[in-house]
Amino acid sequence: METFINKVAESGIISLDLEAYFPTSKCMVFDLKDHLFMGLILKEKDFRAALLATDWEQYKNADVAITCSADAIIPMWANMLVASSLQPFAKTIVFGNEEQLKEQLLLNNIASINGSEYQDQRVVVKGCGDIHIPESAYVAITKILRPFVKSIMYGEPCSTVPIYKKK
């Protein structure tokens, strides 16, 4: 009987899946569109009253994106007022849409990786998966790993694209 040898398992290559760093927390969006007069104009007095009437508890421990999905000119102070109101409740506050929020949270999670834990290792950064990983995440992990690793590859351990090799 022929014995199969898993050369990938014996190679000592570490597979790093960025999906493991994708945020799983509660993500919410605060859309200024809901507080515009006629869907176009932000009236300061009405806006401040609407913020005072908002139940901010709903954002407790949530990651929140502040955005305006309407095609309107929003003064910068309006975003600052929302951020100020959210700050005592939300875990994270960013300006942007939900996708941008998740990207920022992913980058924050990747930034927490200690590159020295991969000292002199051969690392494959997994390329395909069920969740779309933005390009910025691949750039971030490369910056973290390069000073420490023996090599960085992209793809799957059985089929990789070389990215970096220590000389």
> What is the per-residue pLDDT for 6?
46
> What is the per-residue pLDDT for 30?
97
Q: Could you tell me where the beta strands, DSSP code E, fall in 20-165?
A: 27-31, 63-67, 92-95, 122-126, 151-156, 159-165
What six digits make up the tokens of 136? 């910025």
pLDDT digits (tens, 9 = 90+) for 13-60: 999 999 999 999 989 999 999 999 887 889 999 999 999 999 999 999
Alpha carbon separation from 64 to 25, 99, 106, 110, 131 (Å, rounded): 10, 11, 14, 19, 20
Q: Residue 154 — pLDDT band, cuts 50, 70, 90?
A: very high
pLDDT digits (tens, 9 = 90+) for 109-126: 999 999 999 999 999 999
CA atoms in the 13 A half-sphere facing the CB of 141: 26
What six digits make up the tokens of 67? 């955005």
φ, ψ dihedrals at 79, nearest 5°: -65, -35
> What is the per-residue pLDDT for 90?
97
What six digits make up the tokens of 65? 């994106």
pLDDT digits (tens, 9 = 90+) for 79-89: 999 999 999 99
Give yes or no for residue 128 having a pLDDT over 90: no
51-67: burial string, b at 16+ Cβ within 10 Å, e else = beebeeeebeebbbbbb
Enclosing H/E stretch for 13? strand 13-16
Q: Provide the 10 A C-beta neighbour count for residue 49.
A: 12
> What is the per-residue pLDDT for 8?
45
With CA atoms as reference, report the closest residue to 107 among 77, 76, 144.
144
Q: By percentage, how much of the chain surpasses pLDDT 90?
A: 78
Give yes or no for residue 7 having a pLDDT over 60: no
Return mean pLDDT, the chain: 91
Q: Provide the 10 A C-beta neighbour count for residue 70.
A: 15
Residue with tokens 């942007």: 96
The reported pTM is: 0.84
- Domain extents for the chain? 7-23+104-165, 27-90
pLDDT digits (tens, 9 = 90+) for 130-153: 889 999 999 999 999 999 999 999
